[in-house]
């Protein structure tokens, strides 16, 4: 008899894994929730809400239950002097911020600097929010514009909620006034204007995952992470544009913050552009296979892709359950650390992955250590098998000249700060003994005509457990005009048929559910076992070399032009941190040297739940070399007044966007397309 992979069995197995293994790969019927497909004011079913599969009506209960976790408040209701911000262990002094304002604008300040002024009541949230709204009006371009290649403007925000944002800012000011007057202190993020990726639900706001195919999808509640931000007094400006279905790492709608002619990186492209272009103080991104790291790298932002399980992903429109993560993108690592501390925390009801984080959880550091050698004792490794498209050639040999110059300088800077930086083998993922999971072609079983590899065996049941295909069907039934577009992206042909099968076999959601739910429990366990084995293999590579964490470059050459540009040099196995659930941080280290220079960025990559270590190192680096993350891009061309605050009518017909599978954010899509020479053998 075939083993069952029913959701009830998966829940037990997943929770045991979460509590038992630091590298667990949990996905259950109670993991995370996407925004509801119900239009505001209707009683329609909850569509892509993962939470509904445990028989709950929404996610407010879980959100309220954990609001106090990670919401950082000032340590004193008032400052002893006007030039000292409350909680000076986290925020800079008002005097230092005022000194910066002599040479930069209010919108150029880091989030922590704006917070210091807000806490001291030197500025108001209403004024700060209006400043960003004015810049959105001037530079963003029309809203709801999904034109391939973009509209020529920044196009960072797909939609905003102007009146709601100003109302929230006024409420934040009242809260800050009360705290400054001796009442309950306001959290440090109170009054800070932020954007949120279009794949993350907010109460009563549309979330369309970068496509008109999800028109009508409206959040019924905030997910726990967003609820924490709202409880902290964050002002949500609106949703930032993302790649269609969160599918591409190159970006296709927005313009780069430094030069709108160039791609912004994806899929959290608007969230990467908006803080650097000064359209928001900071943003929230979401990543499955590069979607925070690439836009951070391309725009010179400071982003954190957290470990799987550090932040609840309830509220995310899922791409790959047990891989999706939520994280901050901002102008400085201090800003991103403050935001991450606010949104992280356990969420047993919605996301059992969060039960796998160490207890007690470490606070993410938010200030540099100080001193001249803050990185003393750290060994940072440069993996020589982190191929840049060519197996056998170390990555540095593939960097363009200016990128290599910046990377070499970075290495010296890190050594100056006390770190030991070494080259070490890393883990060669072209060897089957090392790569038991990510790109393995081993067939564990066949389901409805489809070969089930280890990656598929672990991934497909996760989606079945949350009723992914059924939710798509329910949404398409509610919004029939969207069905064709949804089937074009998500649908599957029964029996393993392809688009070229004769006679033709139409894609359906039923066939999608069949392959998701047909994976046996034995194959699923083997897939997850191999995932853990791959993590153990990588850990051993680090341990054998005595490496604390790694230094890599996601992009090794100048990025391409809109509309169809990509990456001529990028990490071949850029999805490995996502596959393993390990964290990364991205930060700018310099600029290109050609006639149209763009930021050059590097990344620290650590083992699961090593955020305190890699964030601290990035904080110390930026404290010593602030000129890179504080650089201000040139002002883009202003949007003609007639084109401001307008919404571009969606196309009458929907054409599925062509995405190079080697630039896909989806590990399953990438694994299906990887060249033979890059597969384990």
Does some domain include residue 507?
no
CB atoms within 10 A of CB 95: 13
Q: What is the CATH number of the domain that holds 266?
A: 3.90.1300.10
d(CA 543, CA 195): 39
Convert the pLDDT of each residue in 173-200 to its tens digit: 999 999 999 999 999 999 999 999 999 9
E strand or H helix at 618? helix 611-624
d(CA 624, CA 618): 10
Q: Check residue 61 and give its pLDDT.
A: 23
Does some domain include residue 166?
yes
Among residues 125, 246, 291, 302, the one annotated as catalytic is 291
The residues, ordered by sequence, that sit 6+ positions from 149 with a Cβ below 8 Å of its Cβ are: 252, 253, 562, 563, 564
Q: Is 197 a catalytic residue?
A: yes
Convert the pLDDT of each residue in 490-511 to its tens digit: 999 999 999 999 999 999 999 9
| Tokens coding 211 | 């496509």
Q: Check residue 274 and give its pLDDT.
A: 98
| Tokens coding 602 | 């590097």
d(CA 268, CA 246): 7
Check pLDDT > 70 for residue 159. yes
Check pLDDT > 90 for residue 255. yes
Check pLDDT > 50 for residue 75. no
Among residues 197, 203, 305, 558, the one annotated as catalytic is 197
Does some domain include residue 151?
yes
Q: What is the CA radius of gyration of the chain?
A: 23
d(CA 105, CA 313): 35
Among residues 30, 267, 296, 471, the one annotated as catalytic is 267
Beta bridge partners of 567: 559
Q: Check residue 642 and give its pLDDT.
A: 87
In the block, tokens 């001291």 appear at: 120
Confidence of residue 67 (pLDDT cuts 50, 70, 90): very low
* pTM score of the predicted model: 0.89
Which of 575, 566, 667, 673 shows the shortest CA–CA distance to 250?
566
Check pLDDT > 80 for residue 14. no
Q: From the centroid of its chain, how far is CA 414?
A: 26
Q: Check residue 282 and give its pLDDT.
A: 99
Q: Check residue 25 and give its pLDDT.
A: 34
Q: Check residue 149 and give its pLDDT.
A: 74
d(CA 313, CA 31): 8
Convert the pLDDT of each residue in 568-608 to its tens digit: 999 999 999 999 999 999 999 999 999 999 999 999 999 99
Number of H helices, E strands in the chain: 19, 13
Q: Check residue 35 and give its pLDDT.
A: 37
Average pLDDT, the chain: 87
Q: Check residue 661 and give its pLDDT.
A: 87
Q: Check residue 15 and give its pLDDT.
A: 38
Dihedral sign computed on CA atoms, order 492, 493, 497, 503: negative
Check pLDDT > 80 for residue 631. yes
Q: Check residue 647 and give its pLDDT.
A: 80
Which of 182, 192, 226 shows the shortest CA–CA distance to 33?
226
Among 29-38, 466-475, 503-512, 583-592, which stretch is predicted with the lowest mean pLDDT?
29-38
Does some domain include residue 174?
yes
Percent of the residues in the chain that have a pLDDT greater than 70, as a whole number:
86
Confidence of residue 646 (pLDDT cuts 50, 70, 90): confident
| Tokens coding 528 | 């997850």
Percent of the residues in the chain that have a pLDDT greater than 90, as a whole number:
78
Say which residue, 209 or 77, is predicted with more confidence: 209
Q: Is 138 a catalytic residue?
A: no
Q: Check residue 22 and give its pLDDT.
A: 34
Say which residue, 3 or 505, is predicted with more confidence: 505
Report the number of distinct structural domains present in the chain: 1
Check pLDDT > 80 for residue 637. yes
In the block, tokens 């540099």 appear at: 368
Q: Check residue 676 and give its pLDDT.
A: 86
Check pLDDT > 80 for residue 259. yes
Q: Check residue 62 and give its pLDDT.
A: 23
Dihedral sign computed on CA atoms, order 460, 461, 466, 470: positive
Q: Give the structural domain span for 253.
A: 64-350+623-643
Q: Is 332 a catalytic residue?
A: no
Does some domain include residue 289?
yes
Our CA dihedral for 289, 292, 294, 299, rounded to 10 degrees, sits at 170
Does some domain include residue 258?
yes
């Amino acid at each position: 008899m075939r083993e069952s992979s029913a959701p009830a069995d998966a829940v037990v197995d997943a929770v045991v894994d979460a509590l038992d293994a630091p590298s667990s790969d949990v996905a259950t019927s109670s993991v995370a929730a996407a925004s509801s497909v119900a239009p505001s004011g209707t009683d329609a079913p909850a569509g892509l809400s993962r939470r509904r599969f445990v028989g709950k009506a929404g996610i407010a209960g879980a959100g309220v239950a954990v609001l106090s976790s990670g919401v950082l408040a000032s340590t004193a209701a008032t400052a002893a002097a006007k030039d000292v911000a409350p909680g000076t262990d986290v925020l800079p002094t008002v005097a230092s911020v005022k000194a910066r304002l002599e040479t930069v604008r209010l919108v150029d300040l880091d989030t922590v600097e704006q917070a210091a002024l807000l806490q001291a009541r030197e500025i108001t949230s209403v004024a700060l929010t209006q400043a960003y709204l004015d810049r959105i009006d001037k530079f963003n371009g029309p809203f709801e514009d999904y034109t391939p290649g973009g509209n020529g403007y920044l196009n960072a925000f797909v939609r905003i909620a102007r009146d709601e944002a100003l109302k929230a800012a006024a409420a934040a000011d009242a809260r800050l006034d009360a705290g400054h007057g001796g009442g309950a202190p306001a959290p440090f993020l109170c009054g800070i204007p932020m954007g949120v990726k279009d794949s993350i639900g907010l109460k009563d706001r549309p979330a369309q995952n970068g496509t008109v195919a999800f028109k009508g999808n409206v959040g019924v509640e905030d997910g726990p992470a967003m609820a924490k931000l709202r409880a902290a007094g964050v002002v949500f400006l609106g949703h930032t544009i993302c790649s269609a279905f969160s599918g591409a790492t190159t970006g296709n709608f927005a313009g780069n913050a430094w030069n709108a002619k160039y791609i912004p990186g994806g899929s959290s492209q608007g969230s990467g552009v908006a803080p650097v272009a000064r359209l928001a103080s900071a943003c929230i991104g979401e990543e499955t296979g590069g979607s925070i790291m690439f836009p951070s790298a391309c725009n010179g932002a400071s982003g954190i892709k957290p470990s799987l399980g550090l932040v609840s992903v309830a509220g995310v429109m899922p791409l790959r359950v047990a891989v999706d993560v939520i994280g901050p993108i901002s102008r400085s690592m201090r800003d991103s650390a403050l935001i991450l501390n606010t949104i992280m925390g356990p969420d047993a009801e919605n996301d059992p992955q969060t039960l796998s984080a160490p207890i007690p959880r470490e606070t993410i550091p938010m200030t540099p250590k100080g001193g001249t050698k803050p990185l003393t004792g750290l060994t940072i490794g440069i993996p020589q098998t982190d191929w840049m498209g060519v197996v056998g050639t170390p990555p540095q040999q593939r960097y363009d000249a200016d990128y290599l110059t910046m990377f070499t300088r970075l290495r010296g800077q890190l050594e100056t700060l006390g770190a030991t930086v070494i080259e070490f083998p890393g883990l060669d993922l072209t060897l089957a003994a090392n790569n038991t999971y990510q790109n393995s072609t081993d067939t564990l079983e066949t389901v409805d005509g489809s070969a089930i590899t280890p990656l598929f065996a672990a991934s497909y049941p996760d989606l079945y457990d949350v009723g992914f295909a059924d939710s798509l069907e329910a949404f398409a039934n509610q919004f029939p005009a969207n069905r064709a577009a949804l089937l074009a992206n998500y649908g599957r042909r029964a029996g393993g048929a392809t688009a070229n099968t004769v006679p033709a076999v139409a894609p359906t959601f039923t066939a999608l559910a069949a392959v998701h739910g047909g994976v046996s429990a034995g194959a699923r366990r083997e897939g997850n076992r191999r995932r853990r084995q791959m993590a153990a293999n990588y850990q051993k590579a680090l341990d054998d070399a005595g490496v604390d964490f790694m230094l890599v470059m996601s992009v090794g050459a100048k990025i391409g032009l809109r509309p169809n540009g990509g990456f001529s040099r990028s990490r071949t196995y850029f999805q490995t941190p996502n596959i393993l659930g390990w964290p990364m941080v991205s930060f700018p280290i310099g600029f290109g040297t050609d006639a149209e220079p763009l930021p050059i960025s590097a990344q620290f990559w650590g083992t699961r739940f090593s955020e305190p270590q890699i964030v601290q190192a990035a904080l110390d680096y930026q404290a010593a070399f602030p000129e890179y993350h504080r650089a201000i891009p040139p002002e883009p061309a202003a949007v003609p007044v007639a084109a401001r605050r307008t919404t571009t009518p969606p196309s009458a017909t929907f054409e599925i966007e062509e995405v190079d599978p080697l630039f896909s954010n989806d590990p399953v899509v990438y694994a299906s397309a990887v060249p033979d020479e890059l597969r384990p053998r």
